[in-house]
């Protein structure tokens, strides 16, 4: 049976996912704080935790996609949340740096499954005319978490200590588990051409499909380019505030807050617009605008221009996630949605890690603002190239057979 976005069950599911996403971000804050204050972690050590949280998404991407397609996105999401609960509670007994790092990687595994599983669900939850809006709302759950997660993490640490914060985040995962059974999803018939194949060949099906399908390939390239920029900003932003703006850490926090607020505002607008922005043209516009606004934000010594730039960057970022997922879903058979979306997630994570590494080298030779201007310019050139390719991806080109 095909559901509706107006269904109370679907809405309850989205609210629960928002709480889970907030819990995930709060967990990251608690882990980093625990490492710094309990174990005296250095900047390099904290970077290690960032790698531990993201590397599983790169290494496990193809295999995660296969699992999602075999057991279904809802069951996969449930497994990921169980892993999250166990890993969060296990953090209560982490009494050394090595254990904390290993459990961070377990959280990374949970995240590597959660993201593509959640993003593979909307086509099985709602009718196609509601797909673009539903994808935007799914993206909005994470966008809200970017703003609320650090605040919730900080409050939880202040009230309950680090261990109390770990219990709280485990509870948010548990909420997601309790809500999952009420969500009705329809079954998908697997065409003979997409039946199981031996081992690695099956796992790499998503990569092959993306490589040979122009629309999918262009969407993945577009999203990877902006993730490269996000990775660069992770390293560059604190240095920019300190060395270019010559402002205290509170300014950095304020800039992040402004980005988050305008990201959420943009996400709400994208959800309201729905189908009207579910096109490759809008995604390309978001990519190009992200490059331009990143240059404006991180390329100026003016604090006023920096705040305007980071606000605009938040809005541009909101144009990307929901519409890009709609394009991937509509241009691939549902029987391989898990593998296609996992491929996009893996490519984005790899690009983000590359952005961190490349930015370190560029900043050492060019300085913060020049380095980010170069990388922002690269992203703009990618957008121009994609635009000139003339790709149009408004309507689906593949219609899978379904039952239920």
List, for residues 339-351, the tens digit of each pLDDT value.
999 999 889 988 9
For residue 181, count CB atoms less than 10 angstroms from its CB and return exposed for 0-12, middle for 13-18, buried for 19 or more: exposed
DSSP 190: -
Contact, 180 vs 362, CB < 8 A? no
**Coil, strand, or helix at residue 342?**
helix
C-alpha to C-alpha distance for 404 and 246, rounded to whole angstroms: 60
Q: Find the radius of gyration of the CA atoms of the chain.
A: 20
Question: Which of 76-85, 101-110, 167-176, 382-391 has the least mean pLDDT?
Answer: 382-391
| Among the listed residues 100, 83, 82, 91, the one whose alpha carbon sits nearest the alpha carbon of residue 166 | 91
DSSP letter for each residue of 283-331: HHHHHHHHHHHHHHHHT-S-HHHHHHHHHHHHHHHHTTHHHHHHHHHHT
Q: What is the pLDDT of residue 395?
A: 43
Question: Which of 140-154, 196-210, 231-245, 356-370 has the least mean pLDDT?
Answer: 196-210
Dihedral angle sign, alpha carbons of residues 336, 339, 345, 347? negative
Residues found in the chain = 404
List, for residues 28-41, the tens digit of each pLDDT value.
778 777 777 777 66
Q: What is the pLDDT of residue 196?
A: 55
List, for residues 258-274, the tens digit of each pLDDT value.
998 999 999 999 999 98
**In this structure, how many other beta carbons lie within 10 angstroms of the beta carbon of residue 271?**
21
The DSSP element (H or E) to which 404 belongs, if any, is none
Q: What is the pLDDT of residue 221?
A: 94
| CA dihedral of 375, 381, 384, 390, whole degrees rounded to 10 | -110
List, for residues 170-197, the tens digit of each pLDDT value.
888 888 888 888 877 776 665 555 555 5
Tokens of 350: 């790899």
What mean pLDDT is predicted for residues 108-130?
Answer: 88
Contact, 22 vs 264, CB < 8 A? no
Per-residue confidence band for 361, with pLDDT thresholds at 50, 70 and 90: confident
C-alpha to C-alpha distance for 371 and 296, rounded to whole angstroms: 13
| Total-model pTM | 0.84
Tokens of 206: 């998503």
């Amino acid at each position: 049976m095909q559901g509706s976005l107006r269904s109370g069950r679907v809405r309850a599911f989205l609210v629960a996912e928002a709480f889970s996403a907030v819990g995930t971000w709060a967990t990251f804050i608690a882990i980093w704080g625990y490492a710094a204050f309990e174990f005296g972690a250095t900047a390099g050590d904290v970077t290690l935790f960032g790698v531990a949280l993201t590397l599983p998404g790169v290494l496990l991407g193809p295999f995660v996609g296969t699992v999602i397609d075999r057991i279904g996105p809802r069951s996969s999401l449930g497994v990921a949340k169980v892993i999250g609960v166990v890993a969060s509670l296990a953090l209560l007994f982490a009494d050394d740096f090595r254990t904390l790092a290993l459990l961070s990687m377990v959280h990374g595994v949970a995240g590597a499954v959660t993201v593509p599983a959640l993003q593979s669900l909307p086509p099985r939850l709602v009718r196609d005319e509601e797909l673009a809006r539903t994808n935007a709302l799914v993206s909005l759950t994470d966008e809200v978490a970017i703003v609320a997660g650090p605040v919730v993490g900080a409050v939880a640490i202040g009230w309950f200590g680090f261990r109390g914060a770990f219990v709280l985040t485990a509870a948010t995962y548990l909420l997601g588990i309790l809500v999952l059974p009420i969500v009705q999803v329809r079954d998908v018939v697997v065409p003979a051409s997409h039946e199981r194949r031996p081992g690695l060949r099956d796992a790499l099906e998503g990569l092959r499909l993306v490589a040979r399908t122009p629309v999918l390939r262009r969407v993945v390239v577009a999203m990877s380019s902006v993730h490269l920029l996000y990775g660069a900003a992770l390293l560059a932003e604190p240095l920019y505030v300190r060395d270019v703006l010559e402002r205290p850490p509170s300014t950095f926090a304020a800039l992040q807050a402004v980005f988050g607020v305008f990201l959420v505002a943009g996400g709400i607008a994208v959800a309201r617009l729905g189908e009207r922005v579910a096109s490759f043209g809008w995604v390309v516009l978001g990519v190009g605008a992200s490059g331009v606004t990143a240059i404006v934000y991180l390329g100026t010594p003016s604090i006023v221009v920096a705040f305007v730039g980071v606000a605009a960057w938040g809005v541009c970022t909101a144009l990307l996630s929901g519409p890009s997922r709609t394009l991937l879903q509509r241009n691939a058979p549902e029987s391989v949605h898990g593998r296609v979306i996992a491929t996009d997630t893996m490519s984005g994570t790899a690009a983000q890690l590359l952005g961190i590494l490349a930015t370190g080298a560029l900043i050492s030779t060019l300085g913060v603002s020049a380095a980010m201007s170069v990388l922002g310019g690269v992203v703009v050139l990618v957008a121009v190239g994609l635009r000139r390719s003339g790709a149009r991806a408004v309507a689906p080109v593949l219609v899978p057979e379904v039952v239920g």
